[in-house]
Structure 1
Amino acid sequence: KEQAKMNRTIHVLGLGTVGKLIAHSLAGLPNGPPVTLLMHRPLVMQQWHDEGAAIKILINGEYHVQTGFHIESSADFQRQDPLQRFPGFGPNLEHSAEPPNTVIDSLVVTTNPCITLSAISSIKHRLRKTSTICFVQDGLGIIEKMNSRIFPDPHDRPTYVLGRITHDVKSTDQHFTIVENRIGSFLCAKLPQVVETKEEYFCPVINRTDFSWSPQARHLVGSLIRTPGLNAESLGHKTFFVRQLRQLAVGAVIGPLSVAYDCSNDELLYDYAASQNIGHLVAEICHIILSLPELAKFHKLEQKFNANLVENIVLRSLQKSGRNSSAMLQDIRAGRRTDIDFYNGYLVQRAMELGVPCPRNHTLLHLVKGRQARRSRQDNLYIP
């Protein structure tokens, strides 16, 4: 009966390059699920129609086009004046300026972590305990923030899936056309749910970990794995966690240090002070990770997070990226919020919980936030 009630539609929230790649791939599945794109601005919807209501991917000089998507607004369109009307939107027209109220059973989220909470809050009324949300993002900590701010009641929480994509995808001057320079992989893991039970009011609360898969979770993860273009694989949640921590360790060094020194990635290699900081920072990060109690019995964890090994990975990443600037530095220079809370911020939070000293991560966390705040004041012509 539960299976019969399930909506097969997969909604995609976040239409950057990763969101478009996933939506395009899902739409290409034979007998695949319907795909709905959630758009937060009328301008994006207008661009969608102007560009032919299709997502195009350029691979090896050849365009691959997918159509047949549904689109919905993910937030109320703000009006400067009560009489303002958006062309093509309103009663009896193709799109409503208000978000629908239909339940979302399967949701893929590809927004940057720093704006994910506000993006999810706009569609929270459409999510249920039976819903499954797949977060395809770098960094860690989004689940903890979701639980504390969006779904504080454990009995109302959806099923969470974490995902990471390594395809090299770039944007073009056409909003819904992207270029795939290198085929990578898509890794995901369904997180177990913690179920609280209490026999009587005077009894202690018992936490039980539920590893079972709901029909919605099987549908969403199964659809992603069946998609040939994604090269997807489902992992155990601890295996995924360790892989994500490896990526986080590298990002928590390169991003904030490039902001601190205001330089391209390769310049970090040839600055003596920066190179010294890399070694000390990596050692502190590895110490935090090796102290995590949930990974105490993970096989060969000390080998995977040996400080010398991780430092070599960081140095190779810097050499490979050359004169490129880190995403964090690009965000600072453009006046955008960074994802520092989901890199060093996550490490600092975990270290504080465990009583592990983390002075370097703490300093970098607040240095980046300080630069971010200063740039925001400059952009807003702040006068003290």
Structure 2
Amino acid sequence: MCHEFIGPAIDTAVTHYARTLTFPPSAAAAAKTTAALQALQTPHVSTDPIDSLVVALKCHHTLPVLRQLKHRLRPESCITLVQNGMGVYDQLCTTLWPDPITRPQFILGSTTHGARARLRTPKKVKRTPGGGLEFERSVVHTGIGELVFGVVPDPRREVDYDQRLFALDSSTRNGAQQYSLAMPIDSPRLPLPSLSPSSTTSSSPLSQTPLEATLTALLSLYELNPSLLPMPTMYQTLLQKLAVNCAVNPLTGLLSVLNGALVGSPHAGWAMSEILRECSEVITRYLASLAAPTTTSATATSDTDTQHRLDPETVAAFSPDSLERRTIQVLAATARNTSSMASDMAHLASINPNSSVSSGGTEIEYITGYLVRLGERMGVPTPVNRTMLEFVQAKEEIYGMSPGMVVKSPEAGLKIGRANTGKKKVEKGDKLKKVKVTAKL
């Protein structure tokens, strides 16, 4: 299998970006950083077709990147989305592939593994042969979890993927209620059956379609505990994770704390309970509407309808108490971790106002924003989640438009000078003292 890394001058951009944060800013450094970022934003001109594309970007970065690659993606191509929020697949279908005939195959993924990227300057700065600086880069695995996937139904409706993968009799299936988180189905084992419309036998490695080859590769990642779920179950898994993210990400980001800090605060606990109560009502109302395809308006699905149209196990799985227990379990398991939104907001605060480096923002529109919009469709008010959405958006706007108005720690305002001895010194009032200065990237 051929691996391709898209984007010219990635290493150059990373180096200049890290240098901007590590050393005193200068006009020359800012110019190099701007040039590197412009190179990264230049469309990739290759015309070679892409069979399998794995997208692990932030949600709000996905559409701009895939817009550059659309000319290389065919209906036979397979795109795997492994991301934090929800709504990206719908956005791509609406914007890039509104016609199902031309739409690639999609796999949706979710993971509970913990990882973080680390980019820092070595203790002794090393220069590369080209005159640049050498930085240490690595990915740290901070928590063992699982990796789950689901295959989006065939856009051309030629094959029932779930029926073939899980060997279910389509005549006995009862729509979405056949699957639920409370009644898991074993993941299929390798080799997988053929998913081609013209064949029902096991697929040969030499004749696998991009979808079959991608699924085989993903399920071969044994150390990451991979598994394949029927798409309705996978969708419920994504909704469950969405609820947890709605409770954890905005609060840790706004409060600038690690995940575990939310467990010990009664006020944070109240906020999480209210957030999850709204998530429970929105999600169960939505799942009930899926179980009754004729329902076209929010008012047509009442609480009584929800109880009748969903199996008791699904109702219980998305009850406020169940979602709260799930959230507390996640917080306990990741107590020393930094949520993605808290990390993004810390990055917002660290950017030099004079730097040309873009903050990138947060994924709030695809987490809390998705839940709020879903609530509007279902006629369910979500005042607490909407407040979280507005607060995070306000913080993004303030950090982007008025970074000089942001209150920072006293240490952030210290003037850094350089002594004649070559060591760093800090001026604060009339006192001078030597300190060791390091940079967090």
Q: What's the TM-score, normalizing by structure 1?
A: 0.68
For residues 79 and 329 of structure 1, the distance between their equivalents in structure 2, rounded to whole angstroms, comes to 26
Q: Is the 8 A contact 2:147 2:224 kept in 1?
A: yes
Aligned-pair distance for 1:44?
Answer: 2.3
CA gap 1:209/1:372 in 2 versus in 1, 3 angstroms: farther
**Alignment of 1:192 onto 2:157:** no
Task: Indicate the residue corresponding to 2:80 in structure 1.
Answer: 134
SS of residue paired to 2:107? strand
Alignment counterpart, residue 400 of structure 2, candidates 373, 376, 381 = 376
SS of residue paired to 2:54? strand
**Alignment of 1:211 onto 2:160:** yes
Alignment counterpart, residue 368 of structure 2, candidates 339, 344, 365 = 344
For residues 229 and 99 of structure 1, the distance between their equivalents in structure 2, rounded to whole angstroms, comes to 36
CA gap 1:326/1:171 in 2 versus in 1, 3 angstroms: closer
Task: Indicate the residue corresponding to 1:145 in structure 2.
Answer: 91
**Alignment of 1:249 onto 2:243:** yes
For residues 152 and 368 of structure 2, the distance between their equivalents in structure 1, rounded to whole angstroms, comes to 22
**Alignment of 1:353 onto 2:314:** no
CA gap 1:187/1:266 in 2 versus in 1, 3 angstroms: closer
Task: Indicate the residue corresponding to 2:4 in structure 1.
Answer: 36
Amino acid of the structure 1 residue aligned with 2:290:
E
For residues 135 and 226 of structure 1, the distance between their equivalents in structure 2, rounded to whole angstroms, comes to 17
Q: Is the 8 A contact 1:194 1:210 kept in 2?
A: no
Amino acid of the structure 1 residue aligned with 2:3:
V
Q: Tell which structure's C-alpha radius of gyration is larger.
A: 2
SS of residue paired to 1:238? helix
**Alignment of 1:168 onto 2:114:** yes
CA gap 1:230/1:298 in 2 versus in 1, 3 angstroms: farther
Structure 2: gaps (5+ residues):
16-32, 120-134, 162-194, 197-208, 292-308, 349-358, 407-441
Aligned-pair distance for 1:182?
Answer: 4.6
CA gap 1:326/1:185 in 2 versus in 1, 3 angstroms: closer
Deviating more after overlay: 342-351 vs 309-318:
309-318
For residues 369 and 79 of structure 1, the distance between their equivalents in structure 2, rounded to whole angstroms, comes to 26
**Alignment of 1:331 onto 2:344:** yes
Amino acid of the structure 2 residue aligned with 1:34:
C
Aligned-pair distance for 1:217?
Answer: 1.0
CA gap 1:326/1:285 in 2 versus in 1, 3 angstroms: same
Alignment counterpart, residue 114 of structure 1, candidates 52, 56, 60 = 60
Amino acid of the structure 2 residue aligned with 1:153:
D
Amino acid of the structure 2 residue aligned with 1:211:
D
Sequence identity of aligned pairs in percent? 24
For residues 161 and 104 of structure 1, the distance between their equivalents in structure 2, rounded to whole angstroms, comes to 15
CA gap 1:349/1:103 in 2 versus in 1, 3 angstroms: same
**Alignment of 1:294 onto 2:243:** no
Deviating more after overlay: 153-162 vs 280-289:
153-162
Aligned-pair distance for 1:158?
Answer: 0.9
Q: What's the TM-score, normalizing by structure 2?
A: 0.60
Aligned-pair distance for 1:291?
Answer: 0.8
SS of residue paired to 2:4? strand
Aligned-pair distance for 1:287?
Answer: 0.7
Aligned-pair distance for 1:185?
Answer: 2.6
Amino acid of the structure 2 residue aligned with 1:216:
P
**Alignment of 1:225 onto 2:219:** yes
**Alignment of 1:306 onto 2:330:** no
Deviating more after overlay: 107-116 vs 158-167:
158-167
Amino acid of the structure 1 residue aligned with 2:11:
V
For residues 80 and 261 of structure 1, the distance between their equivalents in structure 2, rounded to whole angstroms, comes to 35
Aligned-pair distance for 1:328?
Answer: 0.9
CA gap 1:102/1:374 in 2 versus in 1, 3 angstroms: same
For residues 312 and 213 of structure 2, the distance between their equivalents in structure 1, rounded to whole angstroms, comes to 31
CA distances 1:16-73 after superposition (whole Å, capped 9, x unpaired)? xxxxxxxxxxxxxxxxx222222x240427989xxxxxxxxxxxxxxxxxxxxxxxxx
Alignment counterpart, residue 280 of structure 1, candidates 274, 279, 282 = 274
Q: Is the 8 A contact 1:224 1:230 kept in 2?
A: no
CA gap 1:351/1:258 in 2 versus in 1, 3 angstroms: same
CA distances 1:241-286 after superposition (whole Å, capped 9, x unpaired)? 1112221111111111223444443443343332222211111101
CA gap 1:305/1:79 in 2 versus in 1, 3 angstroms: closer
Aligned-pair distance for 1:299?
Answer: 6.6
**Alignment of 1:123 onto 2:33:** no
CA gap 1:264/1:238 in 2 versus in 1, 3 angstroms: same
Structure 1: gaps (5+ residues):
1-32, 49-77, 87-95, 196-207
Q: Is the 8 A contact 1:140 1:346 kept in 2?
A: yes
Task: Indicate the residue corresponding to 1:268 in structure 2.
Answer: 262
SS of residue paired to 1:155? coil
Task: Indicate the residue corresponding to 2:435 in structure 1.
Answer: none
For residues 183 and 276 of structure 1, the distance between their equivalents in structure 2, rounded to whole angstroms, comes to 29
Tell me the C-alpha RMSD between the 2 structures: 3.2
Aligned residues: 297
Amino acid of the structure 2 residue aligned with 1:363:
T
Aligned-pair distance for 1:333?
Answer: 2.6
